[in-house]
A and B are shown apart, each in its own frame.
Chain A
Amino acid sequence: MHTVVMTKGVPDFREGKVAFDEDGHLERGNTPTVMNPNDEHALRAALQTRVRHGGRVSVMSMGPPGYEDVLQEAMESVYADDCYLVSDKQFAAADTWATAITLATAIEHLGEPDLVFAGFKTADGETGHTGPQTCWGLDIPIVTHVVALDIDPEERTLRAKRLVEGDIEEIETVETSLPAFVVADPEFEPSYRTARHRLERKRLREEARERAADIDEHVTYWDHEELNLDPDYVGLDGSPTIVSSVDPIPRAPAEREATEVDPTDPEALGEVVEELTPHAGGD
Chain B
Amino acid sequence: MSNMDEVGFDSSAAVDGGESFEAVVVGGGPGGAAAAAVLAENGVETLVLERGVEAGSKNVSGGLLYAEESAPYTLDGLFPGFRDEATERPVTRNYMDNLADGKVHTVDLGGVHHHDTEWCDSVLRRPMDSWVAERVHERTVEAGGGLLTGVRVNGLLREGGEIVGVTCDELDPIRADLIVAADGVNSELARDAGLMDWDEPEEWFQGVKAVVDVPPEEVNDRFGIDDDEGVARLFAGDLFEGVRGGGFLYTNRDSLSIGTVFHLDSLAAERAEPQELLDALLTHPHLGQWLPDEYDEYDEREYSAKLVPDSKKVAHPSPHEGRLLLVGDAAGQMQAQGPIIKGMNHAVSAGGLAAEAYIEARNRRQPESAGERYERRLHDSGLYGKLRPRRYEALGRFGEREVVADAVDDLAGSRLGRLGVRIAGGVVERAFNSPFLLGALPDTRTAYATVPRVLAEELGEPVRGDNDADPPSLEERIGDLTYDTDVGNPHIELMDNSFEASGTAVTACPVSAEGFGGGCYREETVRANGDEERVVSLDTQPCVECGTCAVVADTEWTHPRGGKGVDFRQG
Interfacial residues, chain A to chain B (CB-CB below 8 A)? 147-150, 159, 161, 168, 171, 187, 189, 191, 193-199, 202-203
Contacts and interface: CB of A to CB of B under 8 A. Distances in A.
Nearest to B140: A199
Nearest to A48: B8
Contacts of B1: 168, 187, 189
| 3 closest A-B pairs by CB | A150-B9, A199-B146, A191-B8
Interface string B47-87: 10100000000000000000000000000000000000000
Given A194-B171, A195-B47, A198-B171, A171 B19 contact: no
Contacts of A203: 141, 146
A219 to B, nearest CB: 29
B9 A194 contact: no
A202 B147 CA distance: 9
Contacts of A187: 1, 4, 7
B4 A189 contact: yes
Contacts of A193: 11, 13-14, 170-172
A150 B145 CA distance: 24
B145 A148 contact: no
B148 interface: yes
B8 A195 contact: no
Contacts of B151: 195, 198
A199 B148 contact: yes
A145 B12 CA distance: 23
Given A161-B9, A197-B11, 5 more contacts: A147-B4, A148-B9, A171-B7, A195-B49, A199-B47
A195 B21 contact: yes
B174 interface: yes
B467 to A, nearest CB: 47
28 contacts: A147-B4, A147-B7, A150-B9, A161-B7, A161-B9, A171-B7, A187-B1, A187-B4, A189-B1, A189-B8, A191-B5, A193-B11, A193-B14, A193-B170, A194-B171, A194-B172, A195-B146, A195-B171, A196-B13, A197-B11, A198-B148, A198-B171, A199-B47, A199-B141, A199-B146, A202-B148, A203-B141, A203-B146
A187 to B, nearest CB: 6
B273 to A, nearest CB: 38
A188 to B, nearest CB: 9
Contacts of B19: 194-196
B2 to A, nearest CB: 10
Contacts of B11: 191, 193-194, 197
Contact of B7 (A148, A195, A196, A202): A148
Interface string B225-262: 00000000000000000000000000000000000000
User: Interface size bucket, B side?
Assistant: 20 to 34
Contacts of A198: 148, 151, 171
Interface in B159-182: 170-172, 174
Contacts of A202: 137, 146, 148
Contacts of A197: 11
Nearest to B3: A168
A148 B137 CA distance: 30
A191 B21 CA distance: 20
A194 B4 CA distance: 17
Contacts of A171: 7
Contacts of B137: 202
Nearest to A190: B8
A193 B562 CA distance: 13
Contact of A159 (B4, B9, B49): B9
Contacts of A150: 9
B315 to A, nearest CB: 31
A195 B174 contact: yes
Interface in B1-39: 1, 4-5, 7-9, 11-14, 19, 21
Contacts of B49: 195
A159 B9 CA distance: 9
A44 to B, nearest CB: 12
Contacts of A199: 47, 141, 145-146, 148
Contacts of A189: 1, 4, 7-8
A160 to B, nearest CB: 9
Interface string B148-160: 1001000000000
Nearest to A152: B12
A230 to B, nearest CB: 43
A199 B11 CA distance: 15
B148 A148 contact: no
A150 B14 CA distance: 14
B136 to A, nearest CB: 13
Contacts of B14: 193
A80 B92 CA distance: 51
Interface in B320-375: none
Most chain A CB inside 10 Å of its own CB: which residue of B4, B141, B172? B4
A193 B9 CA distance: 11
A171 B141 CA distance: 39
